[in-house]
Amino acid sequence: MAIEAFSPSASVVGTITGGNTELARVLIQSGGNAQAAAAKSIESIFSSRIDRALANLGSSNTSAITDKLLREQSQLIDRKARVNEAIGVISKALDQFQYLKNHVDYLQTQLLDLEGGNLTASEVSVEWDNKLRKINQLANAASDSIEDNGLYFQKNLIESFSRTSHATQTLFAPYNSTGDTLQVDGVYLGTDYYIIDGGGEYWLSDTGFANSEAAVGTLTEYTAYPGSPTGVSDSVTDLTLNSYNASTGAIDFTTSGSANVTGTLTSGGQGLLDAWIYSDFDNQASIDQAKDDLDEAESLILLTQADFLNARATLESRTSVFSSQIAGLDKQIADELEDLQTGAQAELLATQLEFKIAAFDFALLASRGNTLIMSIMLSQDSEDFGATNASARAVSGATISVTA
């Protein structure tokens, strides 16, 4: 068996390439395109995976747990805000208490001076009616604004919104995170009264609501208050008190036109009445009645002040509780978000690492292929057709004939 001599023209490469035996150049030309396509494919596959990981990272700001915690925190923040508003309303009322007490003290001193002969009954009457106006102004000044469902309302715990019922407003403030509330009932600390006569008509005085110190009050008759005055009215300085029973409210008086009116008096707030109902302080019995009413007024102010101070202290303690709960939820939310971010970041880093490893492996394979081809090129470009050249050509695929 003999081996035929090596024939370049019989090369497999030449046959495949149409006579071009520059194998390395052919492989490099076709292999380069293949490598580029393969690299692009790898990049495309991992690019989509990395994009998804980035999207997960961007959307990892919330979860079902964080949403629940955020809702709870929002409710607590809202409750704390409402508690602070309630504290503001109570504080606005408390700001008036010292002034209210000062006016009561002043009137008590006036009566003592009257009894001591230092003032006349007429002088005390003028000062008395003017203080009623100032007391009502102080009660009115306790109004504060609160927000409820996006709407703002005026809340005043020491003023009445009805002259015929002397009713007050009630304040409800959140007490805890479970929805319980603290109720603070208003107490009217102005002063007012109305008389219902035997015919069912109302008589109301505007002494305590006069616009100025110089104004003199008027008693007006209504068939229904406030919209139906009968047209009958009289200056309070022209009225004559015939009798008044503080225990029952029974009153009898005469107008300037000599009309006799009997009815029942109902007082509100501090219970201080116009000077004419104390007979303008022209007798000791009326002075003593005024003193008793001032004592009742002072007692009401002090008791209400104590109740409001206690309510405010309670609500201030609740703000501390709400603040602690809000801070605790802050930490829980932060921890949950950190866990979410850590998981998303880990996914992104793992995908990026996989891409780098795949790219490195591909580059390594491509490098090995290029090294083999470069070896073939070097052998073809060598001018020494020795054993090395022949071996290289043999490796590249020469035709070997075997004969018997």
Q: Bigger pLDDT: 3 or 270?
A: 270
Nearest residue to 3 via CA among 395, 394, 402: 402
Contact 87, 312 (CB under 8 A): yes
33: left (phi over 0), alpha (psi -120 to 50) or beta: alpha
Nearest residue to 139 via CA among 94, 72, 185, 74: 94
pLDDT above 90: residue 147: no
Which residue carries 């009805």 as its tokens? 162
> pLDDT tens digits for 296-350?
999 999 999 999 999 999 998 888 777 766 666 665 656 655 655 555 454 544 5
Indicate the residue type of 226.
Answer: P
pLDDT score, position 361: 52
Neighbours of 276 (CB within 10 A): 23
pLDDT band at residue 249, thresholds of 50, 70 and 90?
A: very high
> pLDDT tens digits for 214-239?
899 999 999 999 888 999 999 999 99
Which residue carries 């509330």 as its tokens? 181
Cα gap 129→22, rounded to integer Å: 124
240-244 and 228-235 beta bridge pairing: unpaired
Q: Bigger pLDDT: 202 or 72?
A: 202
Contact 290, 264 (CB under 8 A): no
> pLDDT tens digits for 43-75?
566 566 556 655 554 554 555 666 665 666 666
pLDDT above 60: residue 90: yes
The pLDDT of 105-113, averaged and rounded, is 98
pLDDT score, position 350: 52
pLDDT band at residue 371, thresholds of 50, 70 and 90?
A: low
Cα gap 340→257, rounded to integer Å: 87
The residue ranges of every structural domain in the chain are 1-115+292-404, 193-267
Cα gap 180→268, rounded to integer Å: 31
